[in-house]
Structure 1
Amino acid sequence: MPLRKQPRSVARELALLSISQIKTNTNKLETEDLNNLVLAAIRTLTTEVRETLETATAEVKRGDERLLNSQTRASDLERARAMLSEALKLSQSAINRLGVAAELPEFIELTNQEQVREYALEIIATVRRNRQEIEKQIEAALVAWQLNRLAKIDRDLLVISVAEMLYLEVPVKVAIDEAVELAKRYSDEDGFRFINGVLRRVSDRHKQEQLTANE
């Protein structure tokens, strides 16, 4: 049984996983049912699982072919070992995603469902209304990266966290800490460090802009 979470933490996670799937007009979002959000989130997770397993299968096939075609050269064996190791990591990632898909409805069941629904929809609506400015803030904080080159989960995490900081009056520390925890759950090994660094630069830049505007 999952541990009880705060409604906003669950809502944030639900928004992250469903934001790309919900097609309802922004003006009608408030009528969206919680079950539709959960279904959208699970669809996102199952799609990721399928894609991850397909990649893992391809890595196993490539590693197997390299072993069969090699003449026991050390370089070939080492490369095949690396491919199989990557396939194992990807498979573990897929298993973890399946675990998350199973846990999410339980997390929601253990908390205030109406609060979860309302805040998840508020996040999604805020992102839609202010995406251009949010992405502008993120782009300015990226170092040697472009927003559209980021993994989708990292991009959505950044967008949601900046939306909370700039438009939903969530304390910067809370917004960043929550984003980092979600990155540890959904991104790759270095994802949470990257998310943390970008969000801190966004926060610092925004503070400086406010100081300049008040001078």
Structure 2
Amino acid sequence: MHNNKSLSRELSLISLGLIKDKGDFKLEKFQIEEIFESALDSLINHFRDELDNCESDLENASQKILESELHEGRDSSFAKVRDELKNSLKKIENVMNALSVTIDFPKLIVSSGQIDIREDVNQRISKIINNLTTIDSHIDQVMDGWRLKRLPRIDRDILRLAYVDINFLDTPVAVACDEAVHLANKYSDMQGRKFINGVLRRLQTVKSQ
């Protein structure tokens, strides 16, 4: 269940990036479905790119192992190459774990025993686009002198998703914040991650009062 919710949030984030964020407006359900399909394609393509990068890393590490074996008596580069190979294998493991979730995705959609991820994404996107002005205004109130519109789009959408989790979907605040941090770690930069963390802490404080 937790993995399904995390996947829903990630697909919601990618979907939101395909929609303008200029004030409240309406989207028909079939339009959200089309956006969802594009987001799913984007996520799958991202994993394919990651796998290609891992394959390239492995080839480079293997070549360096061969080269170091030829020169092993003259230098000590083999330990460094071994570390590079370990790092490549770790990356492949992480990508394969994520990929295995995505490969199972069609089964999750059609299985009546699983959460309806499409409906979950639809709900999150609809809540945001139909309440955008209110959501942004409330987040602005805890921005500590900043304005939400000054943040990069991806950071705005991560905060909006966290807000919807907390205020519309009754997600425990700690869970919503953890999930937002996970998305920030994957999609934002270091400055964005620090800023998102700060805003989430203030949102958490406001909610607990």
**Which TM-score band (shorter chain)?**
0.5 to 0.7
How many residues are paired up? 188
**Match in the other structure for 1:122:** 126
Cα pair distance change 1:14/1:98, threshold 3 Å? same
Match of 1:52 in 2: 50
Return the alpha-carbon distance in structure 2 between the equivalents of residues 31 and 98 of structure 1.
Answer: 28
The separation in 2 between residues aligned to 1:88 and 1:185, in whole angstroms, is 23
Shift of 1:176: 3.2
Tell me, yes or no, if the aligned pair for 2:173 and 2:204 is still in contact at 8 Å. Answer: no
Instruction: Give deviations 1:19-45, integer Å, cap 9, x for gaps.
Output: 224569862424444642441332232
Deviation at 1:186, TM superposition (A): 10
Seen in structure 2, the aligned counterparts of structure 1 residues 35 and 127 have a Cα distance that, compared at 3 Å, is same
Contact 2:54 2:92 in 1 (8 A): yes
Deviations 1:72-100 (A, max 9, x none): 233x2122122212222222222223222
C-alpha separation in 1, matches of 2:198 and 2:116? 31
> 2 CA distance for matches of 1:24 and 1:185?
19
Superposition CA RMSD, Å: 4.7
Quote the offset at 1:60 in angstroms.
1.9
Identity %: 19
1:36 aligns with 2:37: no
TM-score (norm 2): 0.59
CA distance in 2, matches of 1:102, 1:121: 23
Match of 1:15 in 2: 12
Q: Secondary structure at the match of 1:89?
A: helix
Cα gap change, 1:46 to 1:169, in 2 (>3 Å): closer
**Is residue 55 of structure 2 the alignment partner of residue 77 of structure 1?**
no
Q: TM-score under structure 1 normalisation?
A: 0.58
- Give the 3 Å change call, closer, same or farther, for CA 122–88 of structure 1 in structure 2: same
Measured in 2, the distance between the counterparts of 1:9 and 1:95 equals 17
Worse-matched range after superposition: 40-49 or 9-18: 9-18
* Cα-to-partner distance string for 1:83-129 (whole Å, 9 max, x where unaligned): 21222222222222322223333334334578535413224426864
Q: Unaligned regions of 5+ residues in structure 2, if any?
A: 146-150, 187-192
Q: Which runs of 5+ in 1 are unaligned?
A: 141-146, 189-193
Q: Counterparts of 1:96-111 in structure 2 under 5 Å?
A: 96-109=97-110, 110=112, 111=115
CA distance in 1, matches of 2:57, 2:144: 33
Q: 1:14 to 1:127 in 2, by over 3 A?
A: farther
Deviation at 1:46, TM superposition (A): 1.4
Kindly name which structure, 1 or 2, has the bigger radius of gyration based on alpha carbons: 2
CA distance in 2, matches of 1:55, 1:114: 30
Per-residue deviation at 1:4?
10
What is the match of residue 203 of structure 2? 203
